A and B are shown apart, each in its own frame.
Chain A
Amino acid sequence: QKEVEQDPGPLSVPEGAIVSLNCTYSNSAFQYFMWYRQYSRKGPELLMYTYSSGNKEDGRFTAQVDKSSKYISLFIRDSQPSDSATYLCAVMDSSYKLIFGSGTRLLVRP
């Protein structure tokens, strides 16, 4: 079993839709959780960073962590074609190394 599981997609939605991206992880000791956005042929860009369970909002993006279920989510409101990218979740292990999911490709259709 992979330590971080993420549906590869692709996920195709119309412009303006609410997008839900999800990851599960296996180790309850993980404490730091991140979402990165990666455009084609570019490096990942940090979108959201959370430490504890609950929600964190930044503009159209909301990150949610449920430690009891070992489940993390990223919600994108009012999705735009410019949001089309691959979204990577990542967790930080006890030695502060990042473990990444395989990424979900998102396509927002105009």
Chain B
Amino acid sequence: DGGITQSPKYLFRKEGQNVTLSCEQNLNHDAMYWYRQDPGQGLRLIYYSQIVNDFQKGDIAEGYSVSREKKESFPLTVTSAQKNPTAFYLCASSIGGGGNQPQHFGDGTRLSIL
């Protein structure tokens, strides 16, 4: 089945630790996105990539890093510099970054602090 796979579903981080969230898509989409969702808030854009080997900061990029070495993969690293990492992280993709290309989402990774 075509879709977006995020792993793991649940992740725990210790103080001072970096953790990496996986996002893989087999939809042959060019654009990929990472969002953060906090209770009672809408999704906020962390990073996005419209093409392999290129990515841009979103609205809340501080404390996060990404890479886009393959079209199907867009991993997100939550670094120790992110002081409030507890949230639900969502990965999305779209055919391209244009206005007529809606985004489709994976089922998320819930990150908590130990």
Contact = CB atoms under 8 A, between A and B. Distances in A.
B105 A43 contact: yes
A60 interface: no
Contacts of B103: 46, 98
Interface in B20-43: 40-43
B16 interface: no
A96 B42 CA distance: 17
Interface in B68-98: 90, 92, 97-98
B61 interface: no
Contacts of A4: 42
Nearest to A42: B107
Interface residues of A, number: 25
A108 B79 CA distance: 40
Contacts of A36: 105
A44 B102 contact: no
A74 interface: no
Interface size bracket, B side: 20 to 34
A98 B94 CA distance: 12
B58 to A, nearest CB: 7
Nearest to B44: A100
B100 A97 contact: no
26 contacts: A4-B42, A8-B40, A31-B99, A32-B100, A34-B102, A43-B6, A43-B90, A43-B105, A43-B106, A44-B43, A46-B103, A46-B104, A49-B102, A88-B42, A88-B43, A92-B99, A96-B99, A96-B101, A97-B45, A97-B48, A97-B58, A98-B43, A98-B103, A100-B42, A100-B44, A102-B41
